[in-house]
Amino acid sequence: MNDSGMEQPQEMWAAFLKGDDGGLEKLYQLYFDQLYAYGFRYCADAVFVEDAIQDLFIKFINTRHKLTTPSSVKNYLFGSFKNLLIDKLRAEKRQSAYDSPFEFSLAIDDKVMEKEQAMLLHKKLQRAMEQLTARQREAIYLRFYENFSYQEISSILDLSPKATYKLMARAIEALRAIYKIGAAFILWTLQSAFLS
């Protein structure tokens, strides 16, 4: 446990690897909502996504003897879940990778939304996001909504860090071109939009 007395994900994972299924159960409870929200952006079928999350954690139990300690448990869970979800979607012929766009709606704080100008900005940004590629939207979601680092995003998207930076730069540049405003303002808008 850390100084605050709260068990951290790394400690939960370490306990699981040592045979304590309670560690994995705690990780399940900690990350279920985030994994569900991420998976639902690939497939808007709640039961399918929930089953995929269950399958992921069952797979961890069945392969515990082969698992190691990742540098970031959250990053590992997201990457593993994405791979499993896409495999399940392909197996059921629901889609091939990236056939269905990665979708999400921007959230914005209610206090900010009360202002008419902020509402217009939010709608404009949402329309601009719809013009990006699925991969660009996913990168922006992971960076600004889930707060993953570029290194972690590169792992989840199975890209090199350089390709991840390029992908994000192209997404920001595309938004800038659509908005016809500076990149710094786009970044500020994205960060504001993801505060909820």
Does residue 127 sit in the same domain as residue 161? yes
d(CA 27, CA 194) in angstroms, rounded, equals: 24
82 with 130, same domain: the answer is no
The CATH number covering residue 156 comes to 1.10.10.10
What pLDDT score was predicted for residue 33? 92
Residue linked to tokens 């921007």: 106
Structure tokens at 51: 């089953």
Query: 121 and 62 in one domain?
Result: no
Distances (CA, A) of 50 to 33, 53, 59: 10, 5, 14
**Domain-embedded: residue 96:** no
The one-character DSSP state at 64 is G
Residues 85 and 129 in one domain: no
pLDDT digits (tens, 9 = 90+) for 12-45: 999 999 999 999 999 999 999 999 989 988 888 8
pLDDT of residue 113: 44
Clarify whether residues 76 and 136 are in a common domain. Answer: no
Q: What does the alpha-carbon distance between residue 34 and residue 82 come to, in Å, rounded to a whole number?
A: 12
> What pLDDT sits at residue 11?
95
The answer to whether position 100 is within a domain reads: no
| CB count in 10 Å sphere of residue 138 | 25
Q: Find where tokens 């709260």 sit.
A: 6
Residue 90 pLDDT class (50, 70, 90 cuts): confident
- Spacing of C-alpha 149 from chain mean position: 11
pLDDT attached to residue 68: 94
Task: Output the average pLDDT for the chain.
Answer: 80
Give domain status of residue 32, yes or no.
Answer: yes
Structural domain containing residue 178: 110-193
Q: What is the pLDDT of residue 71?
A: 92
Among 106-110, 134-138, 185-189, the least confident range: 106-110
Please determine, for residue 46, whether its predicted confidence score (pLDDT) is greater than 70. Answer: yes
Distance of alpha carbon 30 from alpha carbon 24, whole angstroms: 10
Burial group, residue 167, by CB count within 10 angstroms (0-12, 13-18, 19+): buried
Asked if the structure places residue 98 within a domain, the reply is no
Residue 125 has pLDDT above 80, yes or no: no
Whether residues 24 and 79 share a domain: the answer is yes
**pTM of the entire structure?**
0.68
- Chain CA centroid to CA 75, Å: 9
Residue 10 pLDDT exceeds 90: yes
